[in-house]
Amino acid sequence: MKIILRIIKIAFKNKLHITAAYVSMIASAAAYLLLPEVFGNTIDSIAKSLDDGVSLSTTKILTLSGIIIGLSTLRGIFGFGQQFFSESVSQLAVYELRNQFFKRIQKLSLAFHDKSHTGNLMSRAITDVENIRMFISIGLIRGPYFFIMFVTVAIILINMDTKLGLLSIAFMPVVAIQSIFARLKMRILWTSVQERMGELSTTLQETLTGMRVVKAFGAEAHELKQLDVGSKKVADEMIKVEYVRATNMSFMIFVFMMSLAIILIFGGRSVIGETLSLGDLTKFLFYMQLLSIPIRMLGFIVASTARATSAGGRIYEIIDTESEVKETSKPLNFDKISGEVQFENVSFSYDTSGNSQALKGLNFTVTPGDIIALIGTPGSGKSTLVSLLTRFYDPIDGKIKIDGYDIKNFKISDLRHNIGIVQQDIFIFTDSIKENIAYGDPSASMESIVNAAKLAQLHDFIETLPDGYETMLSERGVNLSGGQRQRLAIARAIVLDPPILVLDDSTASVDTNTERLILNAMKNVMKGRTTFVIAHRLSTIRNADQIFVMDKGAIVAKGKHESLIQEGGLYEEIYNLQLKPQNDVMLDISKDDLSDFKVRI
């Protein structure tokens, strides 16, 4: 019930629209309820004229016809208003709800997104929100209309003939009990349907996103089977829902038709016995027909309420989730930071229990403008270290400071605007090259965008494109090469002009010539900036002021390249197995390039 009340609260924020919807609803119901009265009086007038042998005057016929047409017109006009404003209320309500949902997802830390499936979140944002919209439109706005219709018609029928009136509504307790049971059962089933829909969305999203891998491994049949299994589960659950809904609807209609038959029997006898006029029986039957409308719609309202309850539960589960990375209520105000970074006994674990630590008691200070190369085996904690610096996660112990202030005292957006990041997994948006470069700073001038592209060695390539910087990129930048995507990501970080720079494998996936161009450009970019480079190439490491050698979440050695080689240990091992062979290959390629150049001369 709390979920439904929260949904109603959002809908009632749109006071003007909801007032107009309810006014239209009341006016439409009033016009509809007067029609049987007019029809009954018309029939009684005709019957009386026939009994008296007098023809009904044309004026009276036109008057009665005009009243019927007028009431029907009013009902149509106010019915339109009810439909329009109820739909407006539902759309405005889910607009706000969808924004709340997306805003919360944006604020939640990466720890939440690490555990969540994208397809499931998309299902909640689209399918579940649509189910809530249907409830607001049908259950919240039109529900009172049907309730008013039922109560008013019941009172009219009892006033017309107490016995027949009581007989006409005697079936309602049975229908109510059946509806309650159906709602409880359908809520459980709808929750299951929405969970299966989330799983299906996840499967579909992963298949479409990973289509290159699917085709590379010829796994189309496997993916089709996966989708078929998920789709079958959704279909089976939906059939169960429709079975309950159809059973409930059929039962209500059957009970109503039985009550109508009973009214015809007793009402017909009353007309024969002249204790009830033909017009009153006509009114009774018309009102019974009006009574059937809320009875029939009760099934839809029960279904929409059940769907909204389960959908609302899934939506508010996300909205009510607290981010593990919380922002302080009184953040520090600053424009730019100098770039001093301190880690004081910092530990971190992806496991909430803290049993398996990704970082263990890190302690170091980096002076502004220093270049720090992070090196280590996979899983040693390099990416985790820079993720904590940007507050993608918070440490379970210790403090991280920038310019002497705990980063938890900074506004998160201000902190991240002062740290330029080139991540290992580069994401390109379906937008122009210009907008992708300026993503972190939409107000960036064209001059700064071009300058960033030049520093990232991307400008010359962009100039060869017909639309230049306005060239639209495909989903995830598939119309760019790996090196081009890498350089675009670097340009995106440069345009922020950040005092701290984080380069996560920024040159690991490009060819040697492109790497050389990028490294030459980055020498200028990194001047005056505190830079953390997760390095896999000797050329990157040699330029570092300090090298942090990491192993199992700890910094096991620090220093420059020459001193670390002399010390031996893990760094020497990595150098001999990885760095030196790569450097030799690069030297061989450079010699080949020089030989080709001499041949061309």
- What pLDDT is attached to residue 594? 37
Task: Check: CB of residue 338 under 8 Å from CB of residue 368.
Answer: yes
* pLDDT bracket for residue 230 (50, 70, 90): confident
Strand partners for 518: none
Task: Check: CB of residue 301 under 8 Å from CB of residue 309.
Answer: no
Task: Check: CB of residue 404 under 8 Å from CB of residue 332.
Answer: no
- What pLDDT is attached to residue 300? 73
* pLDDT bracket for residue 56 (50, 70, 90): low
pLDDT at 349 over 80: yes
Structure tokens at 119: 């397809």
**pLDDT, mean of residues 456-464:** 87
Q: 196 CB contacts (<8 Å, ≥6 apart)?
A: 230, 233, 234, 237
Measured CA to CA, the distance from residue 440 to residue 433 in angstroms comes to: 13
Q: In what order do the strands lie in the sheet with 397-402?
A: 359-366, 341-348, 397-402, 405-406
- What pLDDT is attached to residue 508? 52
Structure tokens at 223: 């993916």
pLDDT tens by residue, 530-547: 999 887 777 778 778 899
**How many helices (DSSP H) and strands (DSSP E) are in the chain?**
23, 10
* pLDDT bracket for residue 65 (50, 70, 90): confident
* pLDDT bracket for residue 51 (50, 70, 90): low
pLDDT at 172 over 80: no
Q: Which domains does the chain have, with CATH numbers?
A: 2-319 (1.20.1560.10), 336-418+531-601 (3.40.50.300)
Strands 500-504 and 419-422: parallel
- What pLDDT is attached to residue 601? 41
Helix (H, G, I), strand (E, B) or coil at 371: strand
pLDDT tens by residue, 360-378: 999 999 999 899 999 988 8
Handedness of CA 130, 136, 137, 143 (dihedral sign): positive
pLDDT at 586 over 60: no
**pLDDT mean across residues, the chain:** 82
**pLDDT, mean of residues 403-419:** 89
- What pLDDT is attached to residue 507? 55
- What pLDDT is attached to residue 591? 45
Measured CA to CA, the distance from residue 452 to residue 516 in angstroms comes to: 17
**pLDDT, mean of residues 456-485:** 84
**pLDDT, mean of residues 477-498:** 82
* pLDDT bracket for residue 600 (50, 70, 90): very low
Task: Check: CB of residue 433 under 8 Å from CB of residue 462.
Answer: yes
